[in-house]
Every structure is written in C-alpha cells, then in structure tokens.
C-alpha cells in the first residue's frame, strides 16, 4: 500500500480521555474511532490487525478439527426463555422489540442458539464428536464501557461449542481447546496463561481463563513464576489424541495460577516456594468451559446411544476475545514512541521510508523495493508522501510495523538501504536485494 493513497488518520495529540496505552495508541495510530460509548469503527489500519487475528483464530480452530459456521447477531428471546437465562442475564443483555412487537436481543453469547441448531439436526451418537464455532459481533451493554476495545460494548468474539456423548469425551474437547488456544496466542506473539477461574453466567465446574500479564489488566493474578517459562512452540500435536492433549493440559495447568476470583492464599503458600510466588495484573483474552448438560437437558438436545437410549449431550463453550486481543497485544507490545507489532499480527509486513520524495534515485529504489516485496507475497506500506524524514519516522514508530527499510540518496550512492528493527531499534545497512531477502526470511515461517 502507498501511504499517499491510504487512509491513515494519525493524531498528533494524545486523546485526553483515553486512560490506558492501548486505547491511546489505537486512537493516535488511526486504528479506531469511537462512534458511541463502547462502540467503535475499525479504521483501515485497525481493521487489518483485526483480520489478521481472526485469520489466525480460524486457522487454529480448523487445525483442531472445529467447524466454522455463522450465527446471526440478533436472537429470538424465546430460546433464552427455554434455557432460563432470559430473566437471569441482567441489564447487560440488549433487549430489543421489533416492529411486530416480538422480543429479540443482540446476542451476548450463543449457547442457546447453537444448542437449538444441534437439537434440530443431530440425533445419533454417530454424528459425535462435533465442535462448531463462529466469529461474530456480540453486544454486552456494559454499564461503564472503557479502555477502548478492551471493554467495549460491541465486540468481536470467537465462540465455539463442543457436543459429546460422554463427560470423558467432552473433557477431551476441553483439553483440545486449551491446546489450540495456547498455540493460537503464541502465533500472535502473546503469552496467555491458563488460570483457574469462575464460570459466571455461562455455568459449569471446569473453566480456565487465559490471561496476558499486563499492568493495566483488570484481573489480579497469582502464579508460580515457573509458568512463564513454558512455551508451546511448534509441537506437532495430534488433536485426536486424548493422551497428548491431556499431557499439554497438565504441563500448563499443574502449577499454581489463579485469578483473584479463585485465589486461595493458603494453597498458594503451601504449593509455591516464596521465591517463585508472583502477584500481578492480567488481561483476560479467552476462556474455556465444560458445563455438561446444563443447556442440553432443559433444551432437549439429546442423541440416541448405540443401545438406543436417548441421552443429553455433554457440552462446553470456548471463547477468544478477538477485538479485545488487539488492545491486549498493544498493552504487551509498545514503548513511548508507539506500538510494536509482533510479526504474526502486524498490519503490514514492513515499512518503506523514502527520505527524499521526488529524488529520481530514491523514488526508483523505493518503487523497486515495493514491487520486490510484493512479488514475495509480502505487504509493505510505502510512505511516499512529501513529508520530512522525522515525520515519516514518527509515523512508522507510532503504527509499529516490526521492520522498516529506509531509502535515501546518500545510501543509494553506496548501493545500500537501511533495515531497522522496531523492537530493538537496531539498524543495518545492506543492498536493497539483501533487505528484501531478509524481510522475506523473517516472515517465511509466520
């Protein structure tokens, strides 16, 4: 993309009402615009990051064998009356009356609707196991929306639902989700730690939240410091293997790690040597639940077993906060100059800064770089505006592309451009061809 033809409305001033770094930086970098309390437009740069995250979530869900579909944003109230949650849910649910005075609502989650889909179409144990998921906009009418997209009202979430014949099968689905989530977050460049949590309005006994450590997190967290050394890495997991998934779960959840909802100081002190005890803040970016037959029983989602008996299916639900992740990623990756995107989610793979727009050599070299990078399947952002070098650097630092190639007449006389890493600030001179090769190599495995 050529910046002269893009829409990147960066702000010079720091917005006064934004309290945390991610909210400030998303406004300053022209990623979002607030349209109403807790309701945002995703401007082109923000939309790109959102799509990258969505893409990673889709790929990892499908790698685990989960099947995508798409449920609507609006739901009929009667499904929620069946489950008993219509009255229980409280004022966070946006209740709507349509022109025919029918009660509908903007879905805050989808357990009822997916159970309805399941019961209408599945009736035999032969069709199990089954995990369906979607990535769709949801609405929760937060009483005090704040922190930008971190606690918005309209938000994008991946929510998946497993249907299994037995409790054991459903617990495998639970473990499989835990494994796939670890992999998903790491691909984004995030460490998200699974912690014992409370189930809240979804219900169920088994639940883990995934938390990203950050000073601005809303949850207090208590954990064994050894847990931050764990890496999922590039393991070749067979998602059908009960043993492998169980093994990963045990590896990542056997150490003490709880949110303030479930924290037990006595257990903490007993299990964790003092030197390894940590108390910090965390941002919740996902949660998995096993809740058995909580919805399948009242809603009649049953299957015939091999013996012909009808039994309610065992279910769980599993969420990833897609739009919230954009904020969480920035909280975990920024400095005083702006955002520092991990390569996995960056909106553009690298920036090209032309130090002297209008200079024939510089313009030509930039064009060649732009085309060479695109020919390698990369997406560069070329700052081709007539602007001072300082302003161009400041914009690049603010929007946080991990790599920048700087092109100027002086370097070109020696046949070199400069490749700069946003995170370390280190620069290296090299030929344009070498810069293209290096950037391509960086992204080869991502």
State the minimum distance, in angstroms, from the CB of residue 35 to a second copy: 6
State the minimum distance, in angstroms, from the CB of residue 277 to a second copy: 40
Q: Whose Cβ is closer to a second copy: residue 260's or residue 387's?
A: 387
Strands (E), 225-359: 257-259, 277-292, 302-304, 310-312, 314-321, 334-335, 338-339, 350-354
State the minimum distance, in angstroms, from the CB of residue 159 to a second copy: 13
Beta carbons within 8 Å of 165's beta carbon, 6+ residues apart: 125, 128, 129, 303, 305, 311, 313, 314
Helix runs in 292-415, H state only: 296-299, 322-332, 360-375, 389-399, 409-413
Q: Whose Cβ is closer to a second copy: residue 365's or residue 381's?
A: 381
Q: Whose Cβ is closer to a second copy: residue 30's or residue 194's?
A: 30
CA neighbor of 284 nearest in space, from 374, 209, 338: 209
| SS3 state at 63 | helix
Contact residues: a second copy, CB under 8 A: 5-7, 9, 30, 33, 35-37, 39-44, 46-47, 50, 65, 67-76, 79, 91-92, 94, 96, 98-100, 102, 104, 106, 113, 116-117, 120-122, 127, 130, 132, 134, 137, 139, 141, 143, 153-154
CA neighbor of 260 nearest in space, from 202, 228, 218, 290: 218
- CA 446 vs. chain centroid, Å, equals 16
State the minimum distance, in angstroms, from the CB of residue 273 to a second copy: 46
State the minimum distance, in angstroms, from the CB of residue 5 to a second copy: 7
CA neighbours within 13 Å on the CB side: how many for 438?
20
Q: Whose Cβ is closer to a second copy: residue 33's or residue 388's?
A: 33
Q: Whose Cβ is closer to a second copy: residue 131's or residue 333's?
A: 131
Query: Could you give the CA distance from residue 370 to residue 359 in angstroms, rounded to a whole number?
Result: 16
State the minimum distance, in angstroms, from the CB of residue 438 to a second copy: 27
State the minimum distance, in angstroms, from the CB of residue 380 to a second copy: 15
State the minimum distance, in angstroms, from the CB of residue 96 to a second copy: 5
The encoded tokens of residue 119 equal 């019961």
What string of DSSP letters covers 175-221? HHHHHHHHHHHHHTT--EEEEE---GGG--SEEEEEEEE-TT-SEEE
Query: Could you give the CA distance from residue 349 to residue 380 in angstroms, rounded to a whole number?
Result: 6
Q: Whose Cβ is closer to a second copy: residue 114's or residue 365's?
A: 114
State the minimum distance, in angstroms, from the CB of residue 16 to a second copy: 16
CA neighbor of 321 nearest in space, from 190, 224, 166, 222: 190
Query: Could you give the CA distance from residue 76 to residue 158 in angstroms, rounded to a whole number?
Result: 20
CA neighbor of 9 nearest in space, from 21, 36, 27, 35: 27
Q: Whose Cβ is closer to a second copy: residue 234's or residue 386's?
A: 386
Q: Whose Cβ is closer to a second copy: residue 67's or residue 375's?
A: 67
End-to-end CA separation in angstroms for the chain? 20
Q: Whose Cβ is closer to a second copy: residue 240's or residue 433's?
A: 240
Residue in this structure with the two tokens 């020919």, named with its chain if needed: 375
State the minimum distance, in angstroms, from the CB of residue 9 to a second copy: 4
Q: Whose Cβ is closer to a second copy: residue 97's or residue 310's?
A: 97
């Amino acid at each position: 993309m050529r910046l002269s033809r893009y829409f990147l409305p960066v702000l010079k001033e720091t917005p006064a009402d934004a309290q945390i770094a991610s909210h400030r930086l998303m406004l300053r970098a022209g990623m979002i615009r607030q349209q109403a309390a807790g309701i945002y437009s995703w401007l082109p740069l923000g939309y790109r990051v959102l799509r990258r995250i969505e893409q990673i979530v889709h790929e990892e869900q499908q790698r685990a064998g989960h099947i995508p579909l798409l449920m609507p944003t609006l739901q009929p109230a009667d499904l929620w009356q069946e489950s008993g949650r219509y009255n229980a849910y409280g004022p966070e649910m946006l209740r709507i009356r349509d022109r025919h005075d029918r009660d509908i609502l903007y879905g805050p989650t989808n357990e009822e609707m997916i159970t309805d889909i399941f019961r209408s179409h599945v009736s035999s144990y032969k069709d199990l196991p089954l995990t369906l998921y979607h990535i769709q906009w949801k609405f929760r009418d937060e009483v005090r929306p704040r922190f930008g997209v971190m606690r918005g009202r309209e938000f994008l979430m991946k929510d998946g639902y497993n249907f299994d014949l037995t409790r054991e099968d459903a617990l495998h689905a639970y473990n499989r989700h835990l494994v796939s989530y670890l992999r998903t977050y790491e691909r984004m460049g995030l460490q998200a730690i699974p912690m014992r949590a409370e189930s809240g309005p979804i219900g169920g006994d088994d639940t883990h939240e995934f938390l990203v450590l950050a000073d601005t997190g809303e949850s207090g967290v208590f954990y064994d410091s050894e847990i931050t050394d764990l890496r999922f890495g590039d393991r070749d997991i067979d998602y059908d293997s009960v043993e492998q998934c169980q093994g990963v779960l045990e590896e990542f959840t056997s150490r003490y790690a709880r949110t303030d909802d479930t924290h037990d100081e006595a257990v903490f002190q007993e299990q964790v040597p003092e030197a390894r005890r940590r108390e910090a803040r965390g941002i919740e970016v996902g949660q998995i639940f096993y809740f058995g037959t909580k919805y399948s029983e009242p809603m009649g989602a049953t299957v015939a077993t091999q013996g012909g008996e009808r039994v309610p299916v065992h279910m769980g639900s599993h969420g990833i906060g897609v739009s919230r992740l954009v904020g969480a990623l920035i909280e975990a990756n920024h400095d005083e100059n702006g955002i520092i995107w991990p390569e996995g989610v960056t909106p553009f793979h690298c920036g090209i800064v032309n130090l002297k727009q209008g200079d024939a050599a510089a313009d030509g070299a930039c064009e060649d770089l732009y085309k060479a990078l695109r020919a390698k399947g990369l997406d560069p952002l070329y700052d081709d505006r007539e602007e001072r070098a300082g302003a161009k650097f400041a914009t690049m630092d603010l929007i946080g592309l991990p790599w920048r190639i700087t092109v100027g007449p002086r370097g070109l006389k020696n046949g070199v451009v400069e490749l700069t890493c946003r995170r370390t600030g280190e620069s290296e001179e090299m030929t344009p061809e070498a810069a293209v090769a290096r950037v391509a190599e960086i992204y080869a495995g991502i």
